[in-house]
Amino acid sequence: MSAWRVATALLRKDLLAEWRTKDVSTAILLFGFTIAVSFSFAFEPTPDEARVIAGGLLWLGFLFSAVLGLNRGFARETANNCLEALRLAPADPGSLYLGKLLSNVLLLLVAELVLLPVFGLFFNLALWSRPGWLLLILLLGTWGVAALGTLFSAVSANTRMQELMLPLLLLPLTVPVLVAAVDLTTLLLFNRPMSEGSMQFRLLAGFDIIFTLLCWLLFGYVLEE
Amino acid sequence: MPPPHTPADRSPRIVLQQLSKFFGRFVALDRLSLTFEPGEFVVVLGRNGAGKTTLLRTLALLLQPSEGELQFDNQPVSRLPHSFKQRLGFVGHEIALYDDLTAEENLHFFARLYGINDGVRRAAEVLAEMDLADRATSRVRNLSRGLKQRLALARAWLHQPDVLLLDEPATGLDAPTRERMHEWLARCHQSGRTVIASSHDLAESLRPATRVLLLENGRALFDGPNAPGLAEELRAKLVAAAREGAR
C-alpha cells in the first residue's frame, strides 16, 4: 500500500478531529496570544527596538506554542490506545510519521498565520512587506520544528512525564532552526536583501531534510513497545 | 451472513518455538512452544497475569519476543513484510478508536489505512453485521461500553483478516450481544479463519472452541482439544494453580 495513501488518511483523520474539537489550535492560539501580550508589556519596545527583538520573540512564541500543540496532537493517538491500532495496520511506520508530520505542519502554519497579525499589532511591525519570503521562512522553520516534534511527541507519549519530556527533548535540538529563522525574520523586518540570509536558508533547508529523513527512519523504533 | 471468501488454506500456520517474553524481571511467557494450525478456534484461559494478553499481543506482532521464535507459515516474524499485518485482526483491552470521530468515520479511516478500495461500502457492511448501522453517525465518545466494544470488533473485522486475535472480546457486552458475538465468531471459524481468543468465562468461552489452552505463569498448563466435561477439569486446574500461587 502506498505511503502517500496512509499519510493522507492520517492527515484527513487529524484535520477532521481537529475541526471537531479545536483542541490543538485553541491551545496554540491562546498560548501564542498570551506570549505576544506578555512580551509586549514586558519590553515596551520603541519601533526600532521592536524590529531588533521581534524576530526572536516571534519565533520563541511560535516554538513554545508548537510544543503545546504537538503534545496535544499526539494525545489523540494515546487516548483509547489508538496508537495500537496504527501499529496493527499494514503500513510502513515511515508513512505514519509522514501523515503526523503533515498534519502538525499544517496546524502549526495556520496557527502562526493567525498569530502573525497579533504580533504585528503589539510590536507595530510591517511583517507582510514581502509575503513570499515570510511564508518561505515560516514554512522552513515550522517544518524543522514539526519534523523533530512529531518524533519526540511519540517518544514522550510513552513516558510518565509526557508534558515535560517533549520540551526537554525538542528545545535544545531546534536551536539551529530558531537561530536561522530569527536571523531571516530580522532581515525581513529591516527590509534588507534576503540574499544576505542565503547561509541561513541553506541551514534551514539542510536541517529540514536531514531531520525529516532521520525521524522518518526512526519512527518505527519509537512506536515499538 | 457468512464471512466472505478467505479459504481455509489461506490462514497461516503459527508456530512458537521456545518463546519467552520478559518485562524487566517479570516473565510473562516462559519458553512457550505451540503450533496453531490454520482454521483452529483456540480459547486461551488462565488467571490474571498468566500471560494471555502477552501471548495475544505477541501473535498480533505488537510485542517482540525476548527469546525464542515466532513463525507464520515457516517465516520468522523478523522476515515478514509490513503487509503481512493485513492478515491479522486484533482487539485488545482498549477499543483503539477515536473518540471525536463517528463510528463510520473511524471505520473509513481504518479502511484507508488497510488499503480497502471501497471503504465506505465495506464500513457500512461491517456496521450492519455488528448491529451498529443505526449508530453509524454517533461519535465514539457518546457510545456505551458495549457499543464501543462492538465497534472495536468491527474495526478488527473490517479488512477480513485470516487470523482473529481477541483479548477478552466479551468485555462490556450484555448477554444477548455476547451470544451474537459467539455466533459471529463461529461463522468466522467456519469460513476457515483461525480464531484465538482469551476469556475469563470458562463455560461460555469453551462452547465454540476446538482447542483449549490454559496458561499459568507464562506456561501451558493444559493444551488440548475441546471435549465434553473439560470445563470441570480446567476449573480444578485453575483452582489448584490459584492455591499453589497463594502459597
Q: Is B26 within a domain?
A: yes
Contact A87 B115 (CB under 8 A): no
A51 touches chain B (CB under 8 A): no
* Nearest Cα residue to B234 out of B208, B193, B195, B200: B200
B115 touches chain A (CB under 8 A): yes
Domain extent, residue B138, equals 9-246
Contact B94 A81 (CB under 8 A): yes
**Furthest C-alpha separation in chain A:** 57
Rounded to a whole number, what is the distance in Å from the CA of A79 to chain B's nearest CA? 8
Q: Which residues in chain B belong to E strands, given as ranges?
A: 14-23, 26-36, 41-46, 67-72, 75-76, 88-91, 163-167, 194-198, 211-216, 219-225
Q: Is B2 within a domain?
A: no
ipTM of the complex: 0.89
Instruction: Please count the residue pairs, one from chain A and one from chain B, whose beta carbons lie less than 8 angstroms apart.
Output: 79
Cα–Cα dist A10/B96, whole Å: 15
Put simply, the chain B residues between 69 and 88 with a CB less than 8 A from any chain A CB are 82-86, 88
Burial of B81 (0-12, 13-18, 19+ CB in 10 A): exposed
CA angle A126, A127, A130 (to 5 degrees): 105
What domain count does chain B have?
1
Residue B232 φ/ψ, nearest 5 degrees = -65, -45
B94 touches chain A (CB under 8 A): yes
Q: Which residues of A96-127 are buried (b: 16+ CB within 10 A; e: fewer)?
A: bbbbbbbbbbbbbbebbeebbebbbebbebeb
Cβ B174 vs Cβ B146: under 8 Å:
yes
Cβ A149 vs Cβ A124: under 8 Å:
no
Domain ranges of chain A: 3-223
* Chain B residues inside the 8 Å CB shell of A9: 109, 112-113
What one-character DSSP code corresponds to residue A86? H
Dihedral in degrees, nearest 10, Cα atoms B71, B77, B83, B85: 70
SS3 A134: helix
Nearest residue in chain B measured CA to CA from A84 = B96
Rounded to a whole number, what is the distance in Å from the CA of A170 to chain B's nearest CA? 27
Contact B62 A81 (CB under 8 A): no
| Cβ neighbours for B215, distance < 8 A, ≥ 6 positions apart | B44, B45, B46, B50, B51, B52, B55, B221
Percent of chain A topping pLDDT 70:
99
Residue B154 φ/ψ, nearest 5 degrees = -60, -40
pLDDT score, position B1? 41
Q: Which residues of B103-129 are buried (b: 16+ CB within 10 A; e: fewer)?
A: bbbbbbbbbbbbbbeebeebbbbbbeb
A21 touches chain B (CB under 8 A): yes
CA angle B114, B40, B132 (to 5 degrees): 45
Cβ A104 vs Cβ A149: under 8 Å:
yes
Query: How does pLDDT run across A85-108, given as a tens digit for each residue?
Result: 999 999 999 999 999 999 999 999
| Reported pTM | 0.90
Q: Is B24 within a domain?
A: yes
Query: How does pLDDT run across A41-71, given as a tens digit for each residue?
Result: 888 888 888 888 889 999 999 999 999 999 8
* Nearest Cα residue to B96 out of B179, B13, B158, B38: B158
Q: Is B52 within a domain?
A: yes
Nearest to B96 among A84, A90, A91 (CB): A84
What is the pLDDT tens value at each position of chain B, 247 positions in all? 444 444 455 789 999 999 999 999 999 999 999 999 999 999 999 888 899 999 999 999 999 999 999 999 999 998 999 999 999 999 999 999 999 999 999 999 999 999 998 999 999 999 999 999 999 999 999 999 989 999 999 999 999 999 999 999 888 788 888 888 888 888 888 889 999 999 877 777 777 889 999 999 999 999 999 888 888 888 888 888 778 776 6
Instruction: Indicate the residue type of A205.
Output: A
Cβ A67 vs Cβ A170: under 8 Å:
yes
CATH number, domain containing residue B93:
3.40.50.300
